[in-house]
Amino acid sequence: MTMRWFYYAAPQTFYGLAGRLWPWLAAIAFALTLAGLWIGFALAPADAQQGEGYRIIFVHVPASWMSMVIYLAMAFWSVLGLTFNTRLSGMMTRALAPTGAMFAFLSLWTGALWGKPMWGTWWVWDARLTSELILFFLYLGYIALTSAIDDVRRADRAGALIAIVGAINVPIIYFSVKWWNTLHQGASVSLTRSPSMAQLMLWGMLLMALAMWAYTLAIVCYRVRTLIIERERHTDWVQALAEVAGANA
């Protein structure tokens, strides 16, 4: 079993695996997005308090979840990378970062567009919003730091430190609405009590969340292949690949 994991952790093996996976994941993401948007915009009723304005939830909550999950995934790969010194770990962390940054930005953007009509303000410096902004800056810091260091392995190790230390911020974001007084509402979905949402609204939101999971897995599989080729382009196996050796440009 252990041997198997290290087998897939070899960039050469993972290149092929990721190449077979990403088209399926992309197709699943597309189908789930269509289903989620249909439920969210065609079937789900208006909200009793917020009218049609609540429909921002169908991107806001999934994007916010992904921004946190992706950062934890980066921290996970970074721990593996620092512990086992595997080449793939650094590449996985780097492949995750742009998508995480995008979801953190979308969380802030859609949150501002939701805050304006409902709270009367685009932004407040409260615990939830500020900690999410810090998450966005952590992503930017990770990307800036890793791209500023020329030696990729050193860059990976420096980035791994940001990813691991910054992960402390993720539970702070998640629990901020419980720990501090905030304008932001509490969790709409929790594992310990039944959701405070109508069934169709909940299904629309969960389908969109699954769609964004599938999208993230697809784009990370895609991007990690780019990184593998960039870093291993001098090796025989990369030069023997049909997409490198072939005449098609």
Partner 1 sequence: MRWETWSDFWLMGGYGLYVWGSMGMTAVLLFLEMVQAHLAHRRALALARAEKALENP
Q: Is 141 in the site for partner 1 (CB under 8 A)?
A: no
Within residues 207-236, the interface with partner 1 by CB under 8 A covers: 215, 219, 222-223, 225-227, 229-230, 233-234
- Contacting partner 1 (CB under 8 A), which of 28, 56, 82, 124? 56
123 forms part of the interface with partner 1 (CB under 8 A): no
With CB under 8 A as the rule, give the number of residues binding partner 1: 43
Please state at what angle helix 87-119 crosses helix 57-84, rounded to 10 degrees: 160
Mention every residue, 6+ apart, whose C-beta is less than 8 A from residue 230.
Answer: none
Is residue 113 within the footprint of partner 1 (CB under 8 A)?
yes
165 binds partner 1 (CB under 8 A): no
Distance separating alpha carbons of residues 190 and 34, to the nearest angstrom: 25
| Residues 145, 155 contacting (CB under 8 angstroms) | yes
Q: Which of 25, 59, 69, 170 binds partner 1 (CB under 8 A)?
A: 59
DSSP string, 91-132: HHHHHHHHHHHHHHHHHHHHHHHHHHHHHS-S----HHHHHH
Using CB under 8 A as the binding rule, whether residue 161 contacts partner 1 is answered as no
Can you tell me the distance from the alpha carbon of 224 to that of 147, in angstroms, rounded to the nearest whole number? 15
In whole angstroms, how close is the CB of 43 to partner 1 at the nearest point?
Answer: 7
Q: Which of 29, 106, 31 is nearest to 66 (CA)?
A: 106
Which residues of this chain interact with partner 1, rule CB under 8 A? 41-46, 51-53, 55-56, 59-60, 63, 98-99, 102, 105-106, 109-110, 113-114, 116-117, 215, 219, 222-223, 225-227, 229-230, 233-234, 238-239, 241, 243-245, 249
